[in-house]
Structure 1
Amino acid sequence: MRPHVELVQQDDYVWHGAELIGGEGRASERRLSVDEEDGSSSLRIDFHTDWGRGPGIHHADTEYHVLEGSMTYGGRTIGKGGYVHAPKGVPTDVMTFSEGTRILHYREYGDAGFDAVDGVGAPGWADARGEVTVLDTEAMKWDAVPNAGPMPGLFIKYLHVDPVTGFYTRLVHSQEGWTDHRLAHHPCYEEAYTLQGSMEYNFGTLDPGTYFFRPARVKHGHFTTPEGGVTWLMRSDGELVNWYTQNEWLRWGGEAVNYGPGGGRMRWSMSSHDIGRGVPPRSDRDLRDLRASVQFQREQGKDDVDYVPNGTGADKSLIAIAKALDSAGMQAGHGSGDGHEHGHDHEHGPVSADWGAELGDLEHPDERTDEQRHNWGAGRAWKEGDPIPAPIVSTLPVRSRSTGRWAGDGM
């Protein structure tokens, strides 16, 4: 499994010797995200010399994307934006990178293993499928994303789509002014590396060199796009279906044993609202754009609620808990004015609350029993008509120093 990484700046990370088996030349890598169970990795690689490797078979679905410099594949040279996808078990041709080239490099469902072969005509693995994809993404045109959100303004270049699993890699551009005031979660993971521009959202600022890996069902949103727009290379291990949340909240607490006043006991509780209090607010432009996003959706005839920045206004957790307790009390016949006297000494039954949904309706039906049950954020197949699982909680994503403190927005 991969941890939730959100948000890191690649410049904050240390360099390691690049794990490019069988190649000739020198290169270093920054490890943005690694699955230590199967070897899947997302890497930033710099080539310090010319580098090359002959024909061979990758042990993982493997991708190369040129940020700066040039690469050749099978004699074809591509500069910035060059892209190669090599399926696991499929023979690949000679590949080279020129000195000074910087790339993004991805391995999925396998490690860095590479078996040399005589040429691309060599037999592949018995279970291999697909063909090598080679693209000059700079020459591709942008297509508008249908149903992008409450506002139009997202554009896409599809680089690779797996017809069986739905795994896909794409370049995505958000134009200036594109906004989504809601929080979304998906049935699959989503990761992105920022190539150009900037965007503000609940986890901070996406600017060049920032990266996230977000497991399935982790909430994210409150997006605003300033002047110049923003562009990412994005990957997901399935179809990116959007499910939205508003009026989100999280509260936790307990009873201190020896860290209350004087080292004694103490009841305590905190909420995502508490963490967000006193944090510098979103800019005036951000707030204007977020409110415009709300208005746009209302003009489409859809129900919506006002956007309220995290840590401001009333604490949503207290309101939600009070409503749930009131609803449960009324259903049990213990609403206000029922004549029940609480001044006498007697025991109450378990406290109940009506949250409007049963636990089983909020989970994927297989998540407690399948082979990925140890990984709460594992992506699981979902199709139209299936129950929609609720978001999961991620309270401690991996962050690097340049991205600052997270204020718990959208937790």
Structure 2
Amino acid sequence: MPGRGHIEFIQSQMLPWRRIGHGLARPDVEYRMLSRDPSDGACSVLMRYPPGWSRLGPEHIAADEEFYVLDGSLVMDGHVYPADSYAFLPAGWTRSEMHSTQGCVILAFYNREPTLMPLAGDGSAERSPRAVPHLDVTAMSWDLALNDANLKHLGIGRKNLRTDPETGERTFLSLILPQAIPPGNKGPKEIHPVVEEAYCISGSLTGPHGTMYPGAYFWRPAGIAHGPFGARWGAVSLIRFVGGRHVNVWTDDEAPFSFDAPYSPVLPPELAYLSGMPWVPPPPY
């Protein structure tokens, strides 16, 4: 099975906007493909809705859809998803009417090809214990409990968005405090038995492959040692563990850390052209 390959990391600003065609989810919306599995069409995308966009159903998507609203707002069957909303809608969730008055940008994840079906679902998706119809993430409290001593220097806070009751897969926001530096500028690497996927929403985070800024994305397959990491002025990222429950396994040896680490990505062939094109954010002053 081809899989998605290892992406660590890309700045999504370097990817082109493309238009979604008919037959896939959300026709006439623009998207940036962050990663895609060619074997089943599972994908992670940024989607951009133009102001005034609308669509009538009933219809459903033949894939689980998980999304986080980064900007603007989206309305589905009279329910408003403003910025910093989160939802997980199992495959078959009926959409009778959707629109975006002001436009919207969402970060979306699908567990298979998001084919649009021009029929109402059978209602099982709406009854599923896996469904998370809507979270107002701004109203949630940060969980600041330390659960791994090797991550103490990051001062991590979390907002848990979803833990799948069947698979243990998890999605959460991760907060890293400013001036988070590994003790002695070195530390062990961590390994997970499942895929880790992340998108940087704000701040910056530095690791062996360089510094990730807002818009940075990675898809890291299971079993790959990574880290240590640090943040000069803090960072907030959306993180997903895909394929099962995640645990941290630490190496005995330590690796060096530096905020000056150059951009040295690991990319699959279709993204190799980005390896010599590091993205530099605009100056803050």
Q: TM-score range by the shorter chain?
A: 0.7 to 0.9
Q: Give the aligned residue type for 1:154.
A: I
Equivalent residues in 2 for 1:127-166 (5 A)? 130-150=130-150, 151=152, 153-166=155-168
CA contact (8 A) 1:92 1:132 kept: no
**For residue 41 of structure 2, what is the aligned residue in structure 1?**
39
Q: 2:107 aligns with which of 104, 111, 133?
A: 104
CA contact (8 A) 2:9 2:266 kept: no
Q: Give the aligned residue type for 2:210.
A: G
Cα deviation digits, residues 280-328 of structure 1 (max 9, x gap):
x825xx8xxxxxxxxxxxxxxxxxxxxxx9xxxxxxxxxxxxxxxxxxx
Q: Give the aligned residue type for 1:403.
A: P
* Structure 2 Cα separation of the partners of residues 158 and 202 of structure 1: 27
CA contact (8 A) 1:91 1:124 kept: no
**For residue 283 of structure 2, what is the aligned residue in structure 1?**
none
Q: 1:93 offset after TM fit, Å?
A: 5.3
CA contact (8 A) 1:183 1:221 kept: yes
Gaps of 5+ in 1: 250-275, 287-308, 310-394, 405-411
In structure 1, the residue corresponding to 2:189 is in which secondary structure?
A: strand
Q: Give the aligned residue type for 2:237.
A: W
CA 1:62–1:145 in structure 2 vs 1: closer, same or farther (change >3 Å)? farther
CA contact (8 A) 1:87 1:129 kept: no
**For residue 325 of structure 1, what is the aligned residue in structure 2?**
none
CA contact (8 A) 1:7 1:403 kept: no
Q: Does 1:91 align with 2:94?
A: yes
**For residue 242 of structure 1, what is the aligned residue in structure 2?**
248
Q: 1:193 offset after TM fit, Å?
A: 0.6
Q: 1:185 offset after TM fit, Å?
A: 0.8
Q: Does 1:7 align with 2:9?
A: yes
In structure 2, the residue corresponding to 1:163 is in which secondary structure?
A: coil
CA 1:76–1:35 in structure 2 vs 1: closer, same or farther (change >3 Å)? same
**For residue 397 of structure 1, what is the aligned residue in structure 2?**
267
* Structure 2 Cα separation of the partners of residues 23 and 41 of structure 1: 12
CA contact (8 A) 1:90 1:129 kept: no
Equivalent residues in 2 for 1:330-409 (5 A)? 396-398=266-268, 400=274, 401-403=276-278
TM-score, L = length of structure 2: 0.80
Q: 2:213 aligns with which of 207, 218, 222?
A: 207
Q: Which has the higher contact order (CA 8 A, sep 6+)?
A: 2
* Structure 1 Cα separation of the partners of residues 206 and 25 of structure 2: 40
* Structure 2 Cα separation of the partners of residues 245 and 231 of structure 1: 25
Structure 1 moving runs of 4+ over 4 Å: 19-25
Q: 1:57 offset after TM fit, Å?
A: 2.6
Q: What is the alpha-carbon root mean square deviation over aligned residues? A: 3.0
Cα deviation digits, residues 214-252 of structure 1 (max 9, x gap):
00011111111112x100111111222011124379xxx
Q: Give the aligned residue type for 1:174.
A: I
Q: 1:38 offset after TM fit, Å?
A: 0.8
CA contact (8 A) 2:24 2:114 kept: no
Q: 1:23 offset after TM fit, Å?
A: 7.0
Q: Does 1:74 align with 2:74?
A: no
**For residue 219 of structure 1, what is the aligned residue in structure 2?**
225
CA contact (8 A) 1:85 1:132 kept: yes
* Structure 2 Cα separation of the partners of residues 213 and 239 of structure 1: 16
| Structure with bigger gyration radius | 1
Percent sequence identity is 30
Q: 1:182 offset after TM fit, Å?
A: 1.8
**For residue 198 of structure 1, what is the aligned residue in structure 2?**
204
Q: 1:28 offset after TM fit, Å?
A: 1.0
* Structure 2 Cα separation of the partners of residues 24 and 11 of structure 1: 21
Q: Give the aligned residue type for 1:112.
A: P
Q: 1:134 offset after TM fit, Å?
A: 1.0
More strand by share: 2
For these two proteins, the number of residue pairs brought into alignment is 261
